[in-house]
Amino acid sequence: MNNLQNTEYSEIFPENLKKYRNLIAFSNVIEKIIKEYILFDSEKIAIFYSLEFQKDKVLDEIAWGLNIDNYSTDLDRDVKISLIKGAYWIHSNKGTKNAVIAQLKKLNYTIDIQEWFEYQGKPFTFRLITKKQNNNPDEIKKIVQLIDSYKNVRSILDSIVISNEKEFKIYVGGYKKISVMQVREWR
């Protein structure tokens, strides 16, 4: 874009057109219009390369245009940008385990998914495993809604496993019995 700002457009004319003054004057007017009204804010023209510079309203409109599921205007700005940047990948991989996990990670949920063959469940079922301490029913409902919008249609959520890890010190004690026995020889 820098080259368009610094170039005189009449210089790129072929030699046989440079002799016409009215064409050069027309070129100068067009050049002025392009530089003042089109290229003055060229960083914002390339929207997807400059999401960090866009206003929140613009990000919301882009997300609406990309049809991002479960997008909310009250999300953090970094989360919005991350969802927009990953929208094409998510839509092209929708219905896969990786798409579900990636989308949940972008929304700051630490969840793992085990498919039925990984835990000997019924075919086409899966379960969620989370280490989060929050057992809020509203949050769990929200997670289930998110998963329903990104999972494969035939897959069924079997269970939600909330694991709480705690460190324990286990002390094991024991003793060894030592005995002396008298042995007799038989002859």
pLDDT at 1: 47
Secondary structure of residue 128 in the 3-state scheme:
strand
Give CA–CA dist 62/56, Å, rounded: 10
107 contacts 79 by C-beta, under 8 angstroms = yes
pLDDT tens for the chain, 187 residues long, are 457 677 787 788 788 888 888 888 988 898 888 888 777 666 666 777 788 888 889 899 999 988 887 788 888 899 899 889 888 888 888 888 888 888 888 877 888 889 999 998 899 999 988 876 666 788 888 888 888 888 888 889 888 888 777 788 888 877 777 777 777 776 6
Give CA–CA dist 67/157, Å, rounded: 24
Q: Spell out the long-range contacts of 182-186 with Cβ–Cβ below 8 A and sequence spacing 24 or more.
A: none
> Of the candidates 117, 112, 121, which has an alpha carbon nearest to the alpha carbon of residue 147?
112
Which run of H or E residues covers position 45?
A: helix 42-45
Instruction: Tell me the one-letter amino acid at 76.
Output: D
Give CA–CA dist 86/184, Å, rounded: 84
